[in-house]
Chain A
Amino acid sequence: MIVIENLSRIYRKGSNEVAALQDLNFRVQQGSFVSVIGRSGSGKSTLLNLIGGLDRSDEGSLFFKEKDVMQMSRRELALHRRFSVGMIFQSFNLIHSRTARENIELALAFGGKSRRERKKQAMQLLEAVGLEDRADHQPTELSGGESQRVAIARAMANKPSVLLADEPTGNLDSATSGEIIELLQNLNKQEGVTILMVTHEEDTAHAVSDHLLRLSDGKMLEERRISQ
Chain B
Amino acid sequence: MNYPDKLIIGLANLWRMKLRSGLTILGVVIGIGALTSMIAFTSGIQKNITDTFEENDVFTSMYVTPVKADPSSIDLAETMKEGISSLDDDILDSIRTIEKVAIAHPEITFPARLKLKNKDDKTRIQALPKAMEQYKPYSDLLAGRFFSSDTAKELVINWRTLRSLGIIVKHKDIPRDFTENDSLEEYRILPPDSILGQTIELVSAKLDIGNVMKNPLKAATGTENVFTEESMPFTIVGILNVERNISAAGIKGGAIIPSETAKAIPRLDFTSVWDLLGNSGGGGQYSSIYVRVDDMQDLETVKKSLEDRGLNVFALADQLDQIRNAFLIMDAILGAIGAVALLIAALGIVNTMVMSILERTREIGIMKSIGASDHDIRTIFFAEAGSIGLVGGLFGILLGWAFAFAAQIVINQHILPNDELPVDLFYFPWWLVLGALAFGLLVSLTAGLYPAIRASRIDPVKALRHD
Contacts and interface: CB of A to CB of B under 8 A. Distances in A.
Contacts of A106: 9, 367, 370
Contacts of B366: 93-95
Nearest to A166: B464
Nearest to A164: B369
A109 B5 contact: yes
B1 A109 contact: yes
Query: How big is the B interface, by class?
Result: 20 to 34
A97 B371 contact: no
B372 A78 contact: yes
B368 A93 contact: no
Contacts of B371: 78-79, 81-83, 107, 110-111, 158
A78 B464 contact: no
B373 interface: yes
Nearest to A94: B366
B9, B365, B369 interface centre (most CB from chain A within 10 Å): B369
Main secondary structure of the interface of B (DSSP, over half): helix
B12, B368, B374 interface centre (most CB from chain A within 10 Å): B368
Contact of A74 (B9, B363, B374, B464): B374
B374 A54 contact: no
B461 A54 contact: yes
A54 B372 CA distance: 11
B376 interface: yes
Query: How big is the A interface, by class?
Result: 20 to 34
Contacts of B9: 106
Contacts of A74: 373-374
A25 interface: no
A49 B461 contact: yes
Interface of A: 49, 52, 54-55, 74-75, 78-79, 81-83, 87, 89, 93-95, 97, 106-107, 109-112, 154-155, 157-158
29 contacts: A49-B461, A52-B369, A54-B368, A54-B460, A74-B373, A75-B373, A75-B374, A78-B371, A78-B372, A78-B373, A78-B374, A78-B376, A79-B371, A81-B368, A81-B369, A83-B371, A87-B369, A87-B370, A89-B464, A93-B362, A93-B365, A93-B366, A93-B464, A94-B366, A95-B363, A95-B367, A97-B16, A110-B371, A110-B376
Given A106-B367, A106-B370, 10 more contacts: A55-B461, A78-B376, A79-B373, A81-B370, A82-B372, A106-B9, A109-B5, A110-B372, A110-B376, A112-B1
